[in-house]
């Protein structure tokens, strides 16, 4: 095992290091898609800690992820324990999540720190030279600067050297080619002047170039790497083991299963494979895959898919296909392909660099040739070429976009919007249409009992529902609690998987469940409903709604006022989706849409589309959209897919973010104009010999600061 070489780390004994490694291996991770408030933190953590063998439990509410210090064998027991306190837990593969670390970002930050430290020290030495140091004193200061600058450039400027060399090997030019040349030539010329005892050396210029350019590179990297790949999150969401039925039931890796095997899925567990139910009845929560709010009853012969959640009864499922070709895996592949397609977007800085790089080389080369032909002095001609390269070095251009984006990211974060992708703001400014998912995005994503429900009926229903973990039962219990209705005292309660709940009230049978189970017909056009029957009396309905968010209508209106058409895609049924769309003022609706169909609709739309969604069934469409936004209540995989996240779940921030993105784009174009004007003035001065490499470095730094100050204006703007 390799140990870091800091004194504190070296002092740690080997046995302690081994224990730390062993403890890290005991960490279990679970996705908690339904946690939403501070109260959930206490409930979940106390629930997990109530299990013997659990050392610690910590819930990250922002990530909706629970970390538990326990033996891996306790994973299923933890899931059952959390289900008993009312929360769904989905196992995540810790190794998969850890593979998404960012070593490149750490290396870049280290190079930035080294460049800054060296630049400041060399500048302090340069002050003495500028103050009039001469002779041996000046030479000594130059040599000290050389000993600081040479290893620093060799270490800190590696990203530019490797990128520039890679471009040259393929006979191409990119922004890093003139950058690398400017740094190398400034360093080489300074070393030569120091060697021959010249009056000037430009190590500070080389280090200033390196620092400012690394700063822009790091800012850009941080906006790109704010979150790991959505495909990685989806891979971590996949169930890694299943309970295989045989002479004895045992947990085996999914990879060891084959077609025809029978797996057992207990209530509260995620279905690990695609297959057919051969034994048992239950309700499945398919909202992760389809967005359908109402759980689906399944019985022998029904097809089930990985990624759905078993709610009420144990199921035995026969594997009917390849375990590597599940619906969840197909969604993962759709996301990966869509992400790759979106990554082909070329940012403004990249487009500018394609024109800028060859022009810089031609101007510098022309300056060198012209002065050599005019004077025959190769040393003076090389000074002119280096000055041109430094003064035209694209520091301002390199900072033009990152500086604005960093200011915009800060402003959006203050407003409760997290930006994850480097080009997301540029793309958001170009949006021409907005598409919303329904469940959990425009609506609260939770069933609520209609307010006009009779209190006596609610009391009877709550007496039964208190014994069930079904989403509709939870809605009944919550409604009774909020309205101060005392649940009836029902005895002998039993849950019939996939059908409902039965019990006895004052000697009479009482049942709550599906219409067909109670011998009646569901009312059409009323959305989600459950039925209650006492004794021989006719069954009476309880109607449920998934109410819209309080800010949904205002958000839609604001977007339409900005000239953006708004539409809605939903996996829910048309009779549920269309009334909501009409209520919110959305004219275009597509209902009962599966994940792959959502992606096809987004791709066929052709416009630069903004997709807003929260479920796994939205992940592929959001990856394929021009830009995407997810509320904080979205599941982990969908938040990883999104380019922006609404931390406060406030939809009205979406039109505000679009307006700010358009302002940011305007600032970027202003910065390009500043860089262009600066070059139009500075390049002739350098070509005519009025700017030494040191003066060029000062001018370059000034333009970079000016660009950064212009970007900071965004922090004071009003949207």
Residues 417/657, Cβ–Cβ less than 8 Å: yes
| Residue 572, token pair as written in the block | 């829910």
Nearest 5°: phi and psi at 578? -65, -45
Nearest 5°: phi and psi at 262? -110, 125
As beta bridge partners, residue 505 has 508
Rounded Cα distance, 175 and 217, in Å: 12
Rounded Cα distance, 87 and 79, in Å: 9
Rounded Cα distance, 1 and 19, in Å: 13
Rounded Cα distance, 633 and 650, in Å: 11
437 catalytic per annotation: yes
Nearest 5°: phi and psi at 124? -60, -40
Collapse the DSSP code of 11 into the 3-class scheme (helix H, G, I; strand E, B; otherwise coil) and give the result: coil
Task: State the number of CA atoms in the 13 A half-sphere of 524 facing the CB.
Answer: 1
**Strand ranges in 475-578 using DSSP code E only, listed in sequence order:** 491-496, 500-505, 508-513, 529-534, 540-545, 566-569
Rg (CA), the chain: 32
C-alpha dist (Å) from residue 105 to 158, 220, 224, 567: 14, 10, 10, 38
Residues 608/665, Cβ–Cβ less than 8 Å: no
Q: Where are the alpha helices (DSSP H) in 452-593?
A: 455-465, 471-482, 552-561, 574-584
- Those residues with Cβ within 8 angstroms of residue 549's Cβ, 6 or more apart along the chain or in another chain: 442, 443, 444, 649, 651
* From 261, 274, 283, 437, the catalytic residue: 437
In the chain, the largest separation of any two C-alpha atoms, in whole Å, equals: 114
- Would you list the DSSP string of 237-271? HS--EEEE-SSS-EEEEGGG--TT-EEEE-TTPBP
Rounded Cα distance, 229 and 100, in Å: 8
| Residue 397, token pair as written in the block | 């251009």
Quickly count: other Cβ atoms within 10 Å of residue 102's Cβ. Answer: 15
First-to-last alpha carbon distance for the chain, in angstroms, is: 53
What is the 8-class DSSP label of residue 441? Answer: I
The catalytic residues are 437
């Amino acid at each position: 095992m390799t140990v870091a070489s800091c004194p504190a780390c070296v002092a740690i004994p080997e046995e302690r290091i081994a224990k730390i490694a062993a403890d890290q291996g005991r960490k279990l991770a679970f996705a908690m898609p339904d946690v939403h408030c501070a109260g959930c933190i206490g409930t979940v953590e106390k629930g997990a800690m109530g299990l013997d063998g659990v050392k610690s439990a910590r819930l990250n509410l922002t990530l909706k992820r629970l970390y538990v210090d326990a033996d891996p064998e306790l994973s299923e027991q933890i899931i059952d324990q959390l289900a008993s306190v009312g929360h769904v837990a989905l196992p995540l593969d810790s190794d998969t999540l850890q593979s998404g670390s960012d070593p490149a970002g750490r290396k870049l930050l280290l190079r930035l720190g080294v460049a800054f430290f060296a630049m400041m020290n060399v500048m302090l030495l340069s002050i003495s030279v500028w103050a009039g140091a001469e002779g041996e004193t000046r030479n000594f200061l130059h040599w000290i600067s050389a000993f600081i600058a040479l290893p620093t450039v060799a270490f800190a400027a590696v990203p530019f050297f490797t990128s520039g060399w890679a471009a040259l090997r393929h006979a191409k030019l990119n922004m890093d080619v003139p950058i690398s040349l400017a740094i190398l030539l400034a360093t080489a010329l300074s070393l030569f002047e120091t060697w021959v005892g010249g009056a000037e050396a430009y190590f500070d210029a080389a280090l200033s170039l390196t620092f400012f350019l690394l700063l822009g590179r790091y800012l850009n990297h941080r906006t790109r790497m704010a979150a790991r790949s959505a495909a990685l999150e989806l891979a971590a969401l996949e169930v890694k083991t299943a309970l295989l039925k045989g002479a004895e039931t045992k947990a085996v890796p999914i990879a060891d299963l084959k077609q025809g095997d029978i797996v057992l899925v207990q209530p509260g567990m995620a279905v690990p494979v695609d297959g057919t139910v051969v034994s048992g009845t239950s309700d499945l929560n398919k909202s992760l895959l389809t967005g359908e709010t109402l759980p689906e009853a399944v019985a022998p012969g029904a097809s089930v898919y990985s990624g759905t959640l078993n709610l009420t009864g144990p199921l035995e499922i026969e594997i009917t296909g390849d375990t590597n070709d599940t619906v969840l895996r197909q969604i993962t592949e759709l996301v990966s392909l869509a992400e790759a397609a979106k990554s082909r977007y070329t940012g403004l800085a990249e487009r500018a660099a394609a024109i800028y790089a060859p022009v810089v080389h031609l101007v510098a080369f022309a300056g060198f040739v012209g002065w050599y032909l005019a004077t025959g002095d190769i040393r003076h001609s090389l000074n002119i070429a280096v000055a041109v390269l430094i003064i035209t070095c694209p520091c301002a251009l390199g900072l033009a976009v990152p500086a604005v984006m960093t200011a915009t990211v800060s402003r959006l974060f203050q407003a409760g919007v997290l930006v994850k992708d480097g080009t997301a703001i540029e793309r958001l400014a170009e949006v021409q249409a907005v598409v919303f998912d329904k469940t959990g995005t425009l609506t609260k994503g939770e069933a609520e009992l209609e307010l006009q429900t009779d209190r006596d009926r609610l009391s009877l229903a709550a007496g039964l529902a208190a014994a069930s973990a079904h989403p509709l039962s939870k809605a009944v219990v919550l409604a009774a609690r909020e309205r101060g209705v005392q649940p009836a005292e029902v005895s002998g309660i039993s849950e019939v998987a996939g059908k409902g709940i039965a019990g006895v009230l004052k000697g009479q049978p009482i049942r709550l469940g599906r219409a067909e189970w109670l011998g009646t017909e569901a009312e059409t056009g009323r959305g989600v409903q459950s039925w209650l029957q006492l004794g021989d009396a006719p069954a009476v309905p309880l109607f449920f709604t998934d109410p819209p968010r309080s800010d949904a209508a205002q958000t839609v209106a604001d977007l339409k006022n900005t000239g953006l058409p708004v539409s809605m895609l939903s996996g829910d049924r048309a009779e549920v989706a269309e009334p909501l769309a009409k209520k919110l003022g959305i004219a275009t609706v597509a209902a009962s849409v599966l994940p792959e169909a959502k992606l096809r609709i987004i791709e066929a739309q052709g416009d630069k589309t903004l997709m807003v969604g929260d479920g796994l069934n939205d992940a592929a469409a959001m990856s394929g959209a021009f830009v995407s936004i997810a509320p904080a209540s979205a599941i982990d995989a969908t938040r990883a897919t999104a380019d922006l996240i609404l931390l406060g779940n406030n939809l009205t921030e979406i039109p505000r973010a679009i307006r700010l993105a358009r302002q940011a784009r305007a600032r970027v174009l202003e910065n390009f104009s500043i860089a262009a004007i600066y070059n139009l003035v500075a390049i002739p001065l350098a070509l005519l010999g009025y700017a030494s490499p040191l003066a060029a470095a000062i001018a370059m730094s000034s333009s970079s600061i000016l660009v950064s100050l212009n970007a900071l204006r965004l922090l004071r703007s009003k949207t």
